Structure 1
Amino acid sequence: MAVETWTQRLGRGAIAGSAGGAVSAVVLWLAVEPSITKAIDLENAAAEGHSHGDDGELISRTTQLIGGTVTSIVVGVLFGVVFAVVYARSQHRLAGFTDLGRSVSLAALAFSVVALLPALKVPANPPAVGDPGTVNDRTLTYLAIILFGLVLVGVSFAAAQAVRRRTERAELWWAAGICVAVVGGALILYLAPSGNVDIPATMPASLVWKFRIGSLGQHAAMWLGIALAYGALAHRRSLARQPSEAPATAAWAE
């Protein structure tokens, strides 16, 4: 049986990542972009009374949309490659009985750590919302939450393994890991500096939350796309390896 090379694994991850990035771009166009457009219109309307000239757009919205689409796909490919590396190293520890199930499990972990956990403390904001002077602090807080979230994943798996050495009941393994993850996640959110910003009176709160939910949905769509594509490709490879064992079995039967 041929041993799978890292080139094949990374290639599969890149393909899955491009699929996830494409799905993310679709969500960008359908769910996020309308909120951005409305926010920009409100910002321009509020600034009309203070304008002293026609400056015009430095970069057109069409160009920004194209750039956002390309960025979504590139980011998806990069995350897909990382996904392939982590999957290869940890698939035996992931929940699920198939390649697809394990891929979805890993994607759920990635989404929780990279998107959901930091978004609960530092939510995304549309244009005209937020103080530019706090961007660096918010970014550092966001990255710190991701870093501690990754550490928490490792600690949760270690806790599950510690319980596994003491009992054969699988439900207790997962209960230990989940409890550590929930308590640790709550502690991270409690200790992290607040990333909330004041919403201008001219900006409807419903629009801000629609943008935040759409942005989070974009992350979820990317990770789901990566999981489904990678799981399907991994399953296809597993099926392709099975016929190589059939001739030996048939010859023995004869």
Structure 2
Amino acid sequence: MHARAVIPRAALAGASGDVVAWLFALLFAEPLIQAAIDYEAERGEAEAALDAAVGIAPPEEAPEIFSRTVQGVWGIGVGMVLAGVALGLLFAVVYTLLQGKVSLRPRALALLVAGAGFLTLYATPFVKYPANPPAVGHDETIGDRSALFLVMVVGSVVALVVAGLVVRALRERLGTWNAVLVGGLAYVVLVGVLMAVLPSLGELAANVATYGPAVSETPQPLRDPVGRIVFPGFDPDVLYSFRVYALTAQILLWGVLGLVFGALAERTVDPRPSERALESV
């Protein structure tokens, strides 16, 4: 299939995948996001009360440009669809590069590319730096968190490329499946080393200064000057559920992308010999 035919199909498939993921997130993740925002607001009031008790003036609140409804429904929906189109274009590039170099039907190749994209661009970085809802994470660490996640994404892609080269070099000597196993092991080792080298979010300076040496940046219970808890820490059930739904949304996105594009691409090739024989009967 020519690149000009791949691009619009991949863009449509990417948009379709993100629409499905958005609807899922709207039903399941959005209530958790609202719960996290409510927690942040209530915790802010508790912190302001503690500050007022010692004579510290509260900081000025930034004006709200868009309402919560606009942000949570239409804003994220439009953003996700546009991101899906961009993801589809990236998918088209990889699919075009592999097309003709592997002996797979379009549907199988599409699912392979989608699976590799999910693995490298989301699932592997998610293991080291899982998704967090609002209220989990200091504003001061946004830049560091984004940079670390990007390093994980790039490292995961590089590891997959290396694994592919290993498979290619060993395929004739070991056979396809054994070479794939060795390549998979190489990928796991490389990303494992990268995860061991990179710091956890709890080790970032702003989090250590606030919570001490913790394993995450999840807000801990708020205490008054004498050590009494005046506001609870972030609900771990909300955090867990949000991460499960975030991962599920990505599975839906990449799954729909691969299935829709595969179905569209399959229609552009000639039917298999057995199918042509049946049609001639």
Does the pair score TM above 0.5? Answer: yes
Per the alignment, residue 181 of structure 1 pairs with: 187
What CA deviation, in whole Å up to 9, does each residue of 1:136-168 have, x standing for no partner? Answer: 11111100111111111110011011111324x
Q: 2-side partners of 1:99 and 1:108: how far apart? A: 14
Partner of residue 87, structure 2: 79
Q: Which has the higher contact order (CA 8 A, sep 6+)?
A: 1
Q: How many residue pairs were aligned?
A: 240
CA drift of 1:93 comes to: 5.8
- Do residues 162 (structure 1) and 159 (structure 2) align? no
Measure the CA separation in 2 of the matches of 1:8 and 1:82: 14
Report the TM-score, using the length of structure 2 for normalisation: 0.77
Question: 2:78 matched to 1:70?
Answer: yes
Of 73, 86, 102 in structure 1, the residue corresponding to residue 109 of structure 2 is: 102
**2:26 equivalent in structure 1:** 29
Structure with greater helix percent = 1
- Return the letter of the residue paired with 1:17: G
TM-score, normalised via structure 1 length: 0.85
Is the 2:10–2:261 Cα contact (8 Å) retained in structure 1?
A: yes
- The CA RMSD over aligned residues, in Å, is 2.6
Q: Residue 240 of structure 2: SS of its match in structure 1?
A: helix
1:230 matched to which residue of 2? 261
* 1:166 match: secondary structure: helix
1:58 and 1:224 map into 2 onto residues whose CA distance is: 35
Q: Tell me the secondary structure at the aligned position of residue 129 of structure 1.
A: coil
Paired amino acid for 1:123 = P
| Contact in 1 for aligned 2:120/2:157 (Cα 8 Å) | yes
Which consecutive residues of structure 1, in runs of 5 or more, have no partner in the other structure? Answer: none
Alignment of 1:136-155 (within 5 A): 136-155=143-162
**Which 5+ residue runs of structure 2 have no aligned equivalent?**
50-57, 202-215, 222-231
Query: After superposition, what is the alpha-carbon deviation per residue over 1:53-106, rounded to whole angstroms, capped at 9, x for unaligned?
Result: 998854212110201001111101111111011011114566x84322221221
